[in-house]
Amino acid sequence: MLFNSLTFVLHFSLFYIIYFYSTFTIRKTLLILFGLYFYSQWGIVGTLLLITSIIFNFLMGILIDSNDSKLRKRIFVFGIIVNVLYLGVFKYFLFVWGIYSDLKIELGGQSPLWKPILLLPIGISFYTFHNISYLIEVYDNRIKVCKNFFTFVLYDLFFPLLLLGPIERPGNLIPQFESVRLISKEKIWNGLSLFCFGVFIKSSIADPLSRNVGIVANSFDSLEPGILWIVAPSIAFQVYADFFGYSLCAMGLAEMLGFELMNNFKRPFFSSNPSEFWSKWHISLSTWLRDYVYIKLGGNRHGFLRENFNLLLVWFLTGIWHGAGYGFIIWGLYLGICLILYRILKHIGFTQFQNPFIKVLGILLTFYSFSLGLLLFRINSPSESLLIVKNLQHIPSLSYIPYSLFLIILPLVLFDIWQEWKETERPSFFVNEKPYIFVCLFVVGFFWFSLVSPFAKEDFFYFQF
């Protein structure tokens, strides 16, 4: 049941009518039940695993809060280890098993080892990080432990962010569930506009781009020389439209329900350096890693070399978080090295020479370093990364450029330019100020969707993480 499906729209519409006219207590129950129903569409086993994780972390929070310092620390460490193992078994066991099998063959084994079959619950990385942040916040006394089981269930089962985030902080989300939320006309219209635009850029930009780049980027050994210089930006816009579209849908649905989620993207392709880029792309994950990993490792408190080592370790873990595969690990290390190189240039004072030309050059370099990195998501072995490098050694022919793609990405580019000009902290159509703008955009969007959108629906890109 995807956000960009008629099935979801019909189910949510019926749910919303009942929700809107219900009391605070009933609304809470309805959200839990709809969250269970929504997640169960991807399998009962995965739902049972999620419920088990919810119960475990709720009890861990209670135990951490109710014990003295020595036992408290042991309970906290146990809770973190179990969550990491929970994620590791389902997401990384088969990858590690495969490496072991490959090594055995290289050392003289006759055949690959038997490979077990394991279910990968959808959204497991997101809700596990959700729960780890809760335990850390309780242990550090940043928030009060949640003693209401149904509130904690809703913290993990809130369906707008259940599958792909954002990875909300418990200090922001749990208090919202414990207070009466007013649903104004302004929230309904603003939330609806965000949801509609999220579905639009997913279906009219991300899905068409996915079909175009998927054919090319999965066959590195038979590509025209230099074509990856053209394919890489297409992949970048595909991933951005896909994930940004989901985030807008999540924000819009939450606002219609009376809640506010954090903004996960802030025009990242206008960033002029890697540090700025990662403060604007997948903000909930970037800040999560900064607060719970980078700072815990010492951050920048122990000298420049240690600071950059911490950064590289964080990016290595970021690669692993995104998926179990060689490409993800290489991708994480690649982006970590890009960020460290920028910090070295900044450290020696090179970046202090700022002018419009340098800024534009920085935007292009930052965009292309990110775009080329996304190619690594698609490799199946370290040797395929050499095929990428070999292809990029050539200058592409202009005849390779599919100029229709510029038309496809135009609405997203124009929207980001508009938001940059307005200097918005959160995406907004300013429906309450100028409602006619939304009506015009909706009509234009409808015709655009009719022209370029495929009717077959693609899963959201980040479902695999």
Catalytic residue numbers? Answer: 322
Q: How far, CA to CA in Å, does 196 sit from each of 38, 108, 191, 221?
A: 19, 57, 9, 40
For residue 318, the surrounding DSSP H or E stretch is: helix 304-322
Residues 6+ apart with CB under 8 A from 340: 308, 311, 312
How many alpha carbons lie under 13 Å from residue 144 in its C-beta half-sphere? 7
Residue-wise burial string across 110-127, b where 16 or more C-beta atoms lie within 10 A, e elsewhere: eeeeeeeeeebbbbbbbb
DSSP, res 279: T
Q: How far, CA to CA in Å, does 333 sit from each of 3, 13, 312, 338, 463?
A: 33, 44, 7, 9, 22
Of 76, 168, 74, 84, the closest CA to residue 128 belongs to 84
Q: How far, CA to CA in Å, does 167 sit from each of 139, 248, 448?
A: 19, 14, 32
Tokens of 444: 């234009």
- CA dist., res. 212 & res. 207, Å (int): 9
Q: What is the dihedral of CA 80, 85, 87, 92, to 10 degrees?
A: 140
Return the beta strands (E) in 318-424 as ranges.
none
> Greatest CA separation found in the chain?
71
At residue 55, what is the residue type?
I
Angle between helix 149-157 and helix 44-66 axes, rounded to 10 deg: 130
